[in-house]
Chains A and B, each alone.
Chain A
Amino acid sequence: MPADSKLILRIPLADVAGSHITITLYKWAYPVIMSKARKFGALSYVGRNIRRRNLRSAITIVGISVVIAFFILFASISQGLKDDIMEEIARQEEALAEQRAGFFTLMTMDPFAMDFFNSTELEAMDDYVSDYCIEHDTVGEVYPLAINFLAPADPESDDMFILFGVDPEKGIKYDFITFNADTIDVQGEFLSSDEESQIILGNGVLEANYPGTQLGDKIDLETMSFMSGGNVTIENVTVTGIMEPNIIYDNFAAVPIEFLLEETGMYDAVSDEYYYFFISIWVEDASLIDFSEMRAEIKDITGISDNDISDNENYIKRTIIAHETEIESQGEMRRTIDGWLMAVILLLSIITIVGISNTMLMSVTERRREIGTLKAVGIPKGRIYQIVLGEAMLLVIISLALGGTVGIMLAEIFNYQYQAEVGGIFFAPTSLTPFVMGYVVGISIGVAFLASLYPAWQAARLEPTEALRYE
């Protein structure tokens, strides 16, 4: 086919840069289409009937178009508002999920008593927490943490650098801190279980204590350990990771916990026991567990006193209630919007039904003789239904094209005003999803169908003799 035998129209899409709808018109198709158009069928008859009463049809189409334009506007506003609400609910639920997390912290408040938690207790707690949480449909983890200080290179400096000893695999979860391979951005690698003598440095620690140090370099750590009662130098520790600048972790460094405990005298080689000063127990959804039950068992396992164990039960209760109230009120607002939309749909549907019914009834009444003639010449009842319903459908399809265009423009204007925060009365978040357009089209066609059923029934039940007598 020669290239000049077709015309191509490209309609750019405003929403997606560079995208467009392509319409190809084939010149050779024109005579084919025109020869089809010469044929006379039910569709051309229906079309002529609309055109016959052009003023009434135009008024009806304008009326339905206005209704459809408002329908689209209201539906898109309600969808826009609902989208905003759903986003807020999702935010609240996400926040709630975080706030549902429960913590128990076990900390020996009197290190000089040397009553640390040992490996056996840690293991027993790990088993208990894991089993208990599984029973209660949630997840629990036990995180040991060793805390030392790194002496600043400048003795006059007020900087305080903290050296964590953490489990290389799990890291640590404690309150708002989640410190592990997934959450910490490092150049190089997070701690690994393969090597003991390794460290990851916070940016502040690197700049103050170890300027110019690069990944793979070995450094000496001057630690101040109040647990072991003095300063310890740990030599030739390999820098495997440097944390990206971070307001929380800049003054932190971390090494594998067992390595730190061994170097700072918190490991007894004879009994093969490590001694821990701080343990955090994290539960994913604390609303599913019984704090007092867990607390009692932890005390049993460790012999810890009430002063040395704390939890966030009350905080969780307060925040969960706050979030749940917010989610409930957002849900209530969503239901209210749905209610308003239903009321608008109902009102607009009634207007459409009255408009279309009236037009079609007038049309049928005026054409009694014509319909009688159709029946006399052998057009069956079902086809008479189709003719009247077809006319109503044609009216609504034309109205959908007109009203749809106006409605989409209105929705875009409202949304533009809303996004630009211009203010005024013509602004609202709107969302023209395929679902919204689908139900506007569906309801419009459904309502038109319902509205024309009675006139169609009136036409179909006309006796041809009665209609032919009608003058």
Chain B
Amino acid sequence: MNDVIVDLKEISKIYQMGPVEIRAVDNIGLQIKKGSFCSIAGASGAGKSTLLHLIGCLDSPTSGEVKINGHNLGEMKDADLTKFRKENVGFVFQFFNLIPTLTAMENVLVPAMFDKDQKVKRAEELLEKVGMGHRMEHHPNELSGGERQRVAIARALINDPPIILADEPTGNLDSETGSEIIELFKALNTQGKTIILVTHEKDIANFANRVIIIKDGRLQDG
């Protein structure tokens, strides 16, 4: 069991919309091994992103238990969760979520901006690694979609987390650029990072070693 990095036990996330109860995640049990490359696939509204947010401690389940890297998130306070997230999870978003006023370099440094150790050297190395060494001082509006996503990946890696969560990372990119980004994830996976990727595109999902299909908040396969 030591090689399980994500351990979900009977988790549900229920939203109350007036009189209607929406089960975004419905009684899911799931284990993901350390160093694996998983994709969570499903149609729009299937509950993929909600599941990803629960794994990434951005949200808490209505019921059930979430264990990440051996830690039970339900027992943690808000401040501890934030710290845990910073140290254990790197996020990559569909819309890149870069800060427009900051350069690529500064965007990578954002998670560490309150740290005593500035990590400038590590940020440079990461940008080199994702192929953005030549555009460190450029602002997001001067970068293409693929370049922005590369910067976002470098940002996710700045604190060297064991898990990378990517929510539709290719959803805003053309297929060629999308493939490049997936290659980047694969490279990170071979270096030991656990990659969990949410997508509604079958082609993209199939790049992963394990494909988890979700439908109406329930696991279908994987």
A residues lining the B interface (CB < 8 Å): 38-42, 44-45, 48-49, 51-52, 369-370, 372-381, 383, 463-465, 468
Contacts and interface: CB of A to CB of B under 8 A. Distances in A.
A414 B93 CA distance: 59
A88 to B, nearest CB: 55
Interface string B88-121: 0011010101011110011001110110001010
Contacts of B78: 381
Given A52-B100, A369-B97, A370-B97, A465 B86 contact: no
B159 interface: yes
B111 A380 contact: no
B106 A463 contact: no
Contact of A41 (B79, B100, B118): B118
Given A39-B118, A52-B100, A378 B87 contact: yes
Contact of B102 (A38, A40, A369, A463): A40
A462 to B, nearest CB: 11
B58 interface: yes
Please classify how large the interface on chain B is, using the bins under 10, 10 to 19, 20 to 34, 35 or more: 20 to 34
Nearest to B56: A376
Nearest to A45: B113
Interface in B44-61: 53, 56, 58-59
A381 B85 CA distance: 13
B82 interface: yes
A48 B58 contact: no
Nearest to B93: A468
Contacts of B58: 375-376, 463-465, 468
A422 to B, nearest CB: 49
B113 A52 contact: no
Contacts of B99: 45, 48, 370, 373
Nearest to A372: B97
| Residue from the set B78, B86, B102, B113 with the largest chain A CB neighbour count within 10 Å | B113
Nearest to B91: A376
Given A378-B159, A463-B59, A42 B114 contact: yes
A40 B105 contact: yes
6 contacts: A45-B102, A49-B101, A372-B97, A377-B91, A464-B58, A465-B58
B155 interface: yes
A378 B101 contact: no
B83 interface: yes
Contacts of B85: 376-378
B102 A48 contact: yes
A328 B177 CA distance: 84
A373 B155 CA distance: 11
Contacts of A377: 85-86, 90-91, 110-111, 155-156
Contacts of A45: 99, 102, 106, 110, 113
Contacts of A41: 113-114, 118
| Residue from the set B79, B82, B120 with the largest chain A CB neighbour count within 10 Å | B82
Contact of B59 (A44, A374, A465): A465
Given A45-B99, A45-B106, A375-B82, 9 more contacts: A39-B118, A40-B106, A40-B120, A45-B113, A370-B99, A376-B85, A378-B87, A381-B78, A468-B58
A463 B53 CA distance: 11
Interface in B169-210: none
A376 B95 CA distance: 14
A369 to B, nearest CB: 6
Nearest to B99: A370
Given A40-B106, A52-B100, A376-B91, A381 B86 contact: no
Contacts of B97: 369-370, 372-373, 376, 468
